[in-house]
Amino acid sequence: MASLIKCSYCSEEITDDSDFCPHCGALYIRDAEIYCDEHPQNKAGGVCIICHKVCCDECGVEVDGRSFCLVHQNVKVEQDWAEVFESSEISDAEMVKSFLESIGHKVLGHNFNSMGFIWGGGGDSPVSRSNINKPVRVFVPIPEYLDAARELEEWRSSQTDIGMDYARIDP
């Protein structure tokens, strides 16, 4: 059985047989040089923490110490959560959150109410609680991001007006 070690880049716990750190994307393959999927002449620099694509300096970027491919470089991540939805409308975000929960995702909301914060043990400061004009943000665990984003997209395209129709369910 694999035992836990600390990633030497981000200090998160990973199993000692990991090929890469799922938290920051650092590669951990020993005894072999790993090359980029897209640019076979380039050595790989890391793994996109969203889609797990192996990237080199040309097709990957590092944001706050974590690796992303160019497709996912703008995905906002906090700890082990990735943002799938952002809105100034709390009601829209509530529906998105309920939808994602109904199909089995773990969901965290940010700035949902006047408390501003329902983070699961996140260690946030009172500053964010006082700022109720921030956009409402919906997060899922990073490993669930790709599925959740796709399902959310399909669901939203089937809603003509997610603000109104969804809430008006005839008894």
Which residues, 6+ apart, have CB-to-CB distance to 147 below 8 Å? 105
Closest approach, Cβ 124 to Zn ion, in A, equals 22
Cα 13 to chain centroid distance, Å, stands at: 18
> Phi, psi (5° rounding) for residue 138?
-120, 125
The footprint of Zn ion on residues 56-85 (CB under 5 A) is 56, 58-59, 69, 72
Q: What is the largest distance, in Å, between two alpha-carbon atoms of the chain?
A: 64
Nearer to Zn ion, 7 or 162 (CB): 7
Q: At what angle do helices 145-157 and 90-102 cross, to 10 degrees?
A: 120
Nearer to Zn ion, 51 or 63 (CB): 51
- Per-residue interface string for the shown chain with Zn ion, residues 12-51, x marking contact by CB under 5 A: ---------x-xx-x---------x-xx--------x-xx
User: Residue numbers of the site for Zn ion (CB under 5 A)?
Assistant: 7, 9-10, 21, 23-24, 26, 36, 38-39, 48, 50-51, 53, 56, 58-59, 69, 72
